[in-house]
Amino acid sequence: MEGSTIKGVSLLTLNESDSKKTRPRKRDIGRIRVMGYSTELPGDDVESSLRKHFSSCGEITDVCVLVLDNNILNSFGFIYFLGGQGTVDKAMQLSGTDVGGWNVIVEPYPFGEDADW
């Protein structure tokens, strides 16, 4: 029983430290806008392809491709990276490259100074 008590305390300590992690600051997040994919492709396929294609640029926190009301993808999406401007610079170098049958177009899409965080 003593062993299980110690294990429980250890897990509690780990969970407590996880909950106290700070959110990244706005300047630590890089964001790009991506285009070039067919809007008729399945959204999950586009997101997965983009995540794989840009994984070499840095840690991706989110890939967002919106699906419109008529079940067609929006013509552009966003990729968010940890690492700020450095990751955006790396991603910009991939503009025009092939992503499994379509060429991705990359634009920087920085947060405005007054963006709500």
Mean pLDDT score across all residues of the chain: 83
Each residue of 95-105: pLDDT tens digit?
Answer: 999 998 999 99
Q: Does domain 26-108 have CATH number 1.10.1040.50?
A: no
pLDDT the model gives residue 71:
86
Mean pLDDT of 45-61: 96
pLDDT the model gives residue 61:
94
pLDDT the model gives residue 26:
65
DSSP collapsed to 3 states, the chain: CHHHHHHHHHHHHHHHHHHCCCCCCHHHEEEEEEECCCCCCCHHHHHHHHHHHCHHHCCEEEEEEEECCCCCEEEEEEEEEECCHHHHHHHHCCCCCECCCCECEEEECCCCCCCCC
Mean pLDDT of 4-24: 52
Name the pLDDT band for 73 (thresholds 50, 70, 90): very high
Mean pLDDT of 61-65: 96
CA torsion through residues 98, 75, 89, 81, sign: negative
